[in-house]
Structure 1
């Protein structure tokens, strides 16, 4: 990356942002998001449920004030991974989605996951980030490894076979310093 990318975050507005999100999550590039056939109302409903959930949060990542990616974080003791692993104090779960583009920017997605991780670790209570991407999503496995994630094992979720992976604050700092 020749220029540093800076991002800001704002809470997702399920109604105001639904059209934008719908275009992102139904695009073939977002197949692993599992919302390919979602209607606009489905996206609104899904993100209204997240907005009302004290254990799950959705943020838009902005670049120069323009929505550039989606970030979700959740408490794995209450969402997504309940009963699939033993959560530790300070664990936080994470998803992120970069939208399709006709003008890809080299290093953009790595800059996004780095910003997402930095944002999560801004909270001193967060000790470890947990992810559970589809086992077939090789691109995200490589990105996860680049920011310090270490795969632990495959798990079976209701909707997919996932690669349970963890990244501590120390692993993240070491990976981004490299």
Structure 2
């Protein structure tokens, strides 16, 4: 798969490329076990656990992981999944064109103003670049109020709380039209 590139004028070039589980595991381990990444629930994961998780993800036809680069430097992680087969099976009624998404901005001591919003906008633009995508589905932890606010800026509307095995989550949806309205406002 060819890397996909976008530009966020305020922050620079944002590029997506598939995660290489063996090459990227060390980097991702550092991100996923960082205290700022607590909502990813991998605080106690070892390097081999992260490598194994991304190898399983890479082998799964219903999921993909991409590493996001900021001006060529790894800066965020995106996971795309089919909610009819992963994550939300039995927790809601999926519709044709639903795509599930997770994203993580790498922890940093030098945050760039507007970067996280540029990342989620880039991710959503990439997801909706596929004409088959009608709606993006997310299920962040109910306690993750920062991501709820960020999701709202790109058009997500919460539907209800759901109980997943690992967390209580806020099931939220964003249609193509909601996204386009939100980013054009």
Map 1:108-119 onto structure 2 (within 5 A): 108-119=115-126
Map 1:70-109 onto structure 2 (within 5 A): 70-109=77-116
**Which of 113, 134, 142 in structure 2 is aligned with 1:127?**
134
Aligned 8 A contact 2:10 2:114 in 1: no
Q: Which runs of 5+ in 2 are unaligned?
A: 1-7
CA distance in structure 2 between the partners assigned to 1:48 and 1:10 by the alignment: 15
Aligned 8 A contact 2:11 2:114 in 1: no
Aligned 8 A contact 1:5 1:111 in 2: no
**Which of 175, 178, 181 in structure 2 is aligned with 1:174?**
181
CA distance in structure 2 between the partners assigned to 1:31 and 1:153 by the alignment: 22
CA distance in structure 2 between the partners assigned to 1:164 and 1:6 by the alignment: 30
- State the secondary structure of the residue aligned to 1:159: coil
CA distance in structure 2 between the partners assigned to 1:56 and 1:47 by the alignment: 10
Aligned 8 A contact 2:19 2:66 in 1: yes
CA distance in structure 1 between the partners assigned to 2:88 and 2:175 by the alignment: 18
Q: Which runs of 5+ in 1 are unaligned?
A: none
Aligned 8 A contact 2:11 2:112 in 1: no
Structure 1 residues 39 and 120, CA, compared in 2 at 3 Å: closer, same or farther? same
Aligned 8 A contact 1:61 1:69 in 2: yes
Task: List, as ranges, runs of 4+ consecutive aligned residues in structure 1 with deviation greater than 6 Å.
Answer: none
- 1:65 to partner: Cα distance: 1.3
- 1:63 to partner: Cα distance: 1.2
- State the secondary structure of the residue aligned to 1:110: helix
Q: TM-score, normalised by structure 1?
A: 0.98
Q: TM-score, normalised by structure 2?
A: 0.94
Task: String of CA shifts for 1:103-130, please: whole Å, max 9, x gaps.
Answer: 1101110110000000000000000000
- State the secondary structure of the residue aligned to 2:119: helix
Structure 1 residues 2 and 50, CA, compared in 2 at 3 Å: closer, same or farther? closer
RMSD: 1.0
CA distance in structure 1 between the partners assigned to 2:144 and 2:11 by the alignment: 27
Aligned 8 A contact 1:69 1:97 in 2: yes
